Structure 1
Amino acid sequence: MLTLATAAATSTAALAQSALDTSAAEDRIETLNEDIADDFERDTPQFGNEGRATGFSGSFALQGSATSGNTDTATLGIGANMGYYDGLNGYDLQLSYQFSENEGVTDEDSLLYELEYTRDFGRSYYGFAKLQGNVERLPFDTSDNFLGVGVGYRVFDTPDVQWAVQAGAGYRVAELNSVDDLSEGALALSSNYYNQFTDTMALTNDTDIIASDSDTVVYNDLGVNVRMTETLALRTSVVTEYHTDPEPGKKDTDNTFGVSVVYSFD
């Protein structure tokens, strides 16, 4: 009985402390709203440097936190998105760094990066060169890097229907724990499709295919946005990832089904 009473008292105190934290519910709701907004804010496919303003653009974000007392933790997140466009040539750099430490032990130390050059060849074509990858020191000492070049073509470009396709070839160099180090050529195909059926309903479908000797991966993101009333909106989506040669013990296909509903009193 003493153990049960002690547990109940501890639980009650924890609930009381949580209830007194007036920002906890607000923060959780804000995070949920941001996630739903990301689902709905699917832009129409961008074709090359279409719509870009000349000059520099970009943003820099820094987030950090630390705790001391019962637990000692520290986290740091850095994000940078920088670009330049001269009217014909586009340059873009994206960096994302994450670090976390718990009780003096580092449990994450990773960097994601992407550098891309884009040049327009007219209204229907563009060329690109891209270097992208990740370097992860912890929890695994791995890296995966890809350098590729290719061209893009605009199939449809109307106010209601936009479809752009992209194809390229490149070389991948990776140091992975689960398999031997990789050094191989790869082909990449992409398709971005947008169709505004009515004033209240739109369909999007994005497909990416990366083919190499070790594995061919297909990513497909299908979504439908429906604004049912002035105050009620719905988005449903299916994200599929398919591998021709999955890792041992894993299935070749993963599906993620999503539903987002927004009701506004405003």
Structure 2
Amino acid sequence: MGLQKTSLPFAVLLASALSGPALAQQNTVFNNVDSVDDAVTDLEENIKDEFADARASRDFGNGSGRRGWYGSVSATANGTSGNSDTADLGVGARFGYGDGVNGHDVALSYTYSEDDGDSTANSLAAAYDYTRMFNRDFYGYGKIRTTYDEFSSYETDTFVGVGLGYRVVNTQDVTWSLQGGPGWRYAEVAEGANVDDLDEVAGSFASKLYYDLGNGMFLTNDTDIITSDADTAVTNELGFNVSVSGPLALRTSLLTEYHSDPLAGYKKTDNTFGVSLVYAIK
């Protein structure tokens, strides 16, 4: 692993939650004017969804609770043939429901890439969160996290846990929430490894920061830590967002995935950088 990828545009999906987080580049071969219009519309909608998910950081652990149904779906794909044969696919969805006190949130993400017929990326991530508000800043939660990565030292990694959360900072411009609690972790190591699968007690800790910089700009940083006796897994996504009511919308993001004790032959860290940009002339 340890691959670094730059993709345009970037569609954020988990976990972040989950998370998080899927990055892909959309390079569509246009056959006519209608297909151009459709592709541009899809791109704009993906970025709108991405901005909505980023702004959802403000609602994390919010005592007022999120009300009603919400959700977003995005998909990107591209391929080349000739001197090189490549294919990339990214699909993601996030949806949920809240009644002001109880909240349910589900996120899914799938990425696949191949080069000259050989798979270079194949991963699936899913997350479910239940939140119960006790007051404006204090809440309890239950969470499920599961990932599959063909090229990771841990081919599958699942965590189920409960815990408590608290919004440390809750102002108009800055929100920062922390949560943590016990759970159970089960992970299957890569095929051929001479070590046992993980099946043990674990702990989960998360931090979610939203900082409104003004002038249509905001910063998000989401951290998710799952630790057990055998390994500590950390996912961190840092995003800088510029949301302008005019013709330009921009988001840049850095996703870092870390394992403290990967198997022999695997690196500890993976980094993925993404940029999204739309310019509309009216």
Q: Structure 2-normalised TM-score?
A: 0.61
Task: State how far apart, in whole Å, the 2-side matches of 1:259 and 1:199 are.
Answer: 20
Q: Given the alignment of the two structures, is residue 196 of structure 1 paired with residue 212 of structure 2, yes or no?
A: yes
Task: State how far apart, in whole Å, the 2-side matches of 1:213 and 1:170 are.
Answer: 13
Q: Secondary structure at the match of 1:265?
A: coil
Task: State how far apart, in whole Å, the 2-side matches of 1:27 and 1:247 are.
Answer: 44
Task: State how far apart, in whole Å, the 2-side matches of 1:216 and 1:263 are.
Answer: 41
Larger mean CA deviation between 30-39 and 190-199 belongs to 30-39
Offset of 1:233 from its aligned partner? 3.0
**Counterpart amino acid of residue 258 in structure 2:** Y
Show the counterpart of 1:163.
Answer: 176
Q: Given the alignment of the two structures, is residue 149 of structure 1 paired with residue 149 of structure 2, yes or no?
A: no
Show the counterpart of 1:212.
Answer: 228
Structure 2 unaligned segments of length 5 or more: list them. Answer: 1-28, 74-90, 111-122, 150-154
User: How far does the alpha carbon of each residue in 1:102-156 deviate from its partner, in whole angstroms, 9 at most, with x for none?
Assistant: xxxxxxxx997655432222222111122343689xxxxx764322011111111
Aligned residue pairs: how many?
A: 215
Contact 2:235 2:256 (C-alpha < 8 Å) held by counterparts: yes
Summarize the Cα distance change of 1:161–1:59 in structure 2 as closer, same or farther, 3 Å threshold.
closer
Task: State how far apart, in whole Å, the 2-side matches of 1:259 and 1:57 are.
Answer: 28
Show the counterpart of 2:47.
Answer: 36
Task: State how far apart, in whole Å, the 1-side matches of 2:130 and 2:243 are.
Answer: 37
Show the counterpart of 1:105.
Answer: none
Larger Rg: 1
Q: Given the alignment of the two structures, is residue 254 of structure 1 paired with residue 270 of structure 2, yes or no?
A: yes
Summarize the Cα distance change of 1:20–1:158 in structure 2 as closer, same or farther, 3 Å threshold.
closer
Task: State how far apart, in whole Å, the 2-side matches of 1:238 and 1:113 are.
Answer: 20
Contact 1:203 1:224 (C-alpha < 8 Å) held by counterparts: yes
After TM superposition, the structure 1 = structure 2 runs for residues 46-195 of structure 1, keeping only pairs within 5 Å, are 46-48=59-61, 50-53=64-67, 57=69, 81=95, 83=97, 85=99, 88-90=101-103, 92=104, 94=106, 114-133=127-146, 144-178=157-191, 179=193, 180-195=196-211
**Counterpart amino acid of residue 52 in structure 1:** R
Contact 2:232 2:260 (C-alpha < 8 Å) held by counterparts: yes
**Counterpart amino acid of residue 146 in structure 1:** F
Contact 1:39 1:260 (C-alpha < 8 Å) held by counterparts: no
Summarize the Cα distance change of 1:19–1:97 in structure 2 as closer, same or farther, 3 Å threshold.
closer
Q: Structure 1-normalised TM-score?
A: 0.64
Summarize the Cα distance change of 1:253–1:114 in structure 2 as closer, same or farther, 3 Å threshold.
closer
Larger mean CA deviation between 19-28 and 229-238 belongs to 19-28
Task: State how far apart, in whole Å, the 2-side matches of 1:117 and 1:169 are.
Answer: 15
